[in-house]
Chain A
Amino acid sequence: MSIASAPIRGLQEVARDPRSWWRRSKGSVELWANLIVLGWALVFMLWRGGGFAVTVGSVFAIWAVLAVSLNLVVGYTGLLSVGHIGFFGIGAYAMAVLTSSASYEQLRTEAIPTFGWPFFAALPISVVLAGLVALVVGIAFNRFRDDIYVLVSFGFAVIAFTTFLSWRNLTRGAFGIHQVARPAIGPVVFDGELEFLALLLVFLGLVVLISWLIVTSSFGRVLTAIREDEEAIEVFGYRTTHYKLAIWVISAMMAGLAGALLASWSTFIDPNSFVLLESVLLVSIVILGGLASIWGSLLGALAFVMLEEGMRFVPFLPSEFIGQIRQVILGILLVLLMLFRPQGLVGRFKL
């Protein structure tokens, strides 16, 4: 159920009686999923050297924050949302607009106001803004359930993308925003990739901790109950709409955080990073890792990123087809996984 208890309990068992533990776990898909993904990540790091591993690690950390936050809504509460990318984008654009210091006037393209805020001043604004939008959207969304929920969240993702693209005097539309600030604490600027990865991991840890506290609390148990049978829990006097709205806003704020981190990491953003397809990928990561499992979301994000980046090293491909073939393989692997293990790598709950 929770992030920490499963591995810790597992480790205790191993320590107590390694042989019998091995006999019992040999056939466990979960164990093998963990071993294979973590092992592949380790081998990849040793094989491909620290430099690229840092890049891959950063991509993983951003996806992991997103996946964990979405799992709170999709996995624990049972609200299948494909609109998460919208909050991701809001966080990213808030960070970009507030901190960008590019002088657009000398370019012959769209000019937007620049504020030049530091990273840490813009970060809370990005998170709160994503939360505020989620609050407004969530009040409307609370009227819907199940399949309709998927559709309205789909609508939100499309609206968000179109807004990023069309609100030209704020987002520069398709031109994108340059020179997003890197974080700085006093004189120390997180300019290097390794420092930035460390910062990302700190934020990832924070998100995981908060999520873990939520899902193990009585609040979290109500969420799980909503997923299992919303009417039943209403009968017990719980205002389920309040709970759903609360977790929706919290999850959106985490996605906003991920977006802000992404904008600062890449220092350039344009609407292409917030298309609906990315949202669908994100949902597949959550399902791939396992619904209602924080560890599953971490593992899912790692598996996805390693699959994507690992595929860069598939040999024997003619250079003209390298990209297409990579996508086909990724698609086939996802289909196979869903066919033979619909609950995901380490999940227990099926959609």
Chain B
Amino acid sequence: MMGISFIKRLVAITLLAVLVMVAAGCGEEEKGPFRIGVMESVTGAGETYGTVAVQAKQLAVDEINEAGGINGRLLELVVEDSKCNAQDAITAYNKLTDVDEVKIILGTSCSGAMLGAAPLAEREGVVMFSGLATNPDIAEAGDYIFRTSLSDATVGVDTGNVLWADGIRNLATINESTDYAEGVRRTTTAQFEKLGGQIVAAESYPTDTTDFRTQLSKLLNATPDAVHVASQAEASGGTILKQLRELGYDGPIYADVVPIGTTALEIAGDAATGVKAITPDLDPANAKAQEVLAAFKEKYDYVTLPWFLGSAYDNIYITAECLKKTGDDQDADGFRDCLYDITWSGTIGDNYSFDEKGEVVGLANAVLEVLPVAERTEENGGYRVLGAAPSN
């Protein structure tokens, strides 16, 4: 007898729980907060980027809410993990759109995840707005897909120009086999060859490689004028710089942003001194940028990837501006039109806007040079800005 009554009780409790949840769902106020989805790779390969992006966005949201919100309504983020791969991005996307019913999603930090969810967003008319994804394919992903991050194609073109301007004619390249690093290498070599340069050796390595001496020796045997390094993980980027110098190479090294990240510089030590990186960077003269970095440092007690941090931060303020205009977080079309029209001055630059592909225009890459170990501080990130990359 006891067993049956127990089942009854179980069923009753379950039903009650479901009812309570349904009732709670119905009782929501009409003038609640604006709800925006956030999809970042907070675990998996893109963990560093994803975490910084979420934290920067949360920082901006807290600031906005403390200042009274948007038209008196608060801004609320619903964060989901897209794990840096397409399948998990699709489940995260469906969770955000079906369960949380958001129409505007900020993210993602991994291009693979972005490309996985973008076809769905495009079909269902949901805005996806990223501050970090850099794969060139995203430009063609659709009408509802936007980003403030610069396509790898622009980084590559600028790198090719810098190489040529510096008098490099024979180049050796090494890159990690990921969409990002591979994309940088391809566009770099394409631009460099177009200008008349020659690629004398090229190597690529899978993620998690720790010893590059064999591959680097092959590069150096081709006696290049310079070596270009494109990596996705800071550990491998730093190790390559270190081992290049250990092998006795003393020529110039060019890189994307990753091999001059904080972790990479720690690994490379003095080997990194003088390495030039072509990447978007925060303008030291931009007061707003310094303010944001300081606020981030105070809240989370560390700073990394400052440009991407600023980009994610700006995304929230652009979103807030557009919500102020549309007044409705369910109005994806209005939000999209607002993004097409907007011209923004924020952390990552002044007067930037979006073209008809949802690509950001008005931002430029900078050329950075790594300082000697003694001059590296937390404030300068270990490098100085030489200036904007030359355009041709």
Contacts and interface: CB of A to CB of B under 8 A. Distances in A.
A173 B177 contact: yes
B191 to A, nearest CB: 10
Contacts of A319: 38, 54, 58, 77, 79
Interface in A306-330: 309, 312, 319-324, 326-327
A268 B116 contact: yes
Interface in B48-85: 50-51, 54-55, 58, 77, 79-81, 83-85
Contact of A322 (B81, B97, B137, B206): B81
A22 B10 CA distance: 15
B42 A322 contact: yes
Given A47-B21, A319-B58, A175 B87 contact: no
A320 B54 contact: yes
Contacts of A179: 119
A181 B181 CA distance: 28
Nearest to B85: A272
Interface centre among A39, A165, A323 (most CB of B within 10 A): A323
Nearest to B45: A272
Interface residues of B, number: 52
B182 interface: yes
A55 B90 contact: yes
Contacts of B77: 319
B112 interface: yes
B140 A322 contact: no
A121 interface: no
Contacts of A166: 177, 204
By DSSP majority rule, is chain A's interface helix, strand, loop, or mixed?
helix
A110 B98 contact: no
A320 B3 CA distance: 44
Interface stretch (A101-109, A137-145, A234-242, A285-293): A101-109
Interface residues of A, number: 49
Contact of B137 (A59, A109, A321, A326): A109
A115 interface: no
Contact of B58 (A43, A108, A110, A320): A320
B3 A323 contact: no
A23 B3 contact: yes
B186 A110 contact: yes
* Chain B interface SS verdict (over half): helix
Nearest to A39: B14
A323 B182 contact: no
Contacts of B51: 320
A46 B21 CA distance: 10
Interface string B27-43: 00000000000100011
B218 interface: no
A19 B91 contact: no
Contact of B98 (A19, A52, A270): A52
B361 interface: no
A287 to B, nearest CB: 22
A262 interface: yes
Contact of B140 (A106, A110, A324, A327): A106
B179 A270 contact: yes
Given A51-B94, A108-B187, A319-B58, A174 B86 contact: no
Contacts of B153: 108
Given A56-B91, A107-B140, A166-B177, A19 B3 contact: yes
B4 interface: yes
A259 B167 CA distance: 49
Interface string B109-124: 0001001100100000
A273 interface: yes
A266 B82 CA distance: 14
Interface in A46-76: 46-49, 51-52, 55-56, 59
Contacts of B285: none
Given A49-B98, A273-B85, A322-B42, A107 B137 contact: yes
Given A23-B3, A173-B182, A176-B112, A320 B81 contact: no
B91 A55 contact: yes
Nearest to A43: B14
A23 B6 CA distance: 12
A178 interface: yes
A269 interface: yes
A269 B14 CA distance: 39
Contacts of B222: none
Interface string B134-156: 01110110000000000001000
Nearest to B110: A272
B42 A175 contact: no
Interface string B80-107: 1101111100110011011100000000
15 contacts: A23-B3, A51-B99, A55-B90, A55-B95, A108-B153, A109-B137, A109-B186, A162-B206, A173-B182, A174-B178, A175-B137, A176-B86, A176-B112, A176-B115, A266-B90
Given A51-B97, A107-B140, A268-B116, 11 more contacts: A22-B4, A49-B99, A59-B91, A106-B140, A166-B204, A176-B86, A178-B137, A262-B87, A267-B119, A309-B95, A326-B43
| Closest 5 pairs between A and B when the two form their complex, measured CB to CB | A51-B98, A323-B81, A323-B42, A319-B79, A55-B94
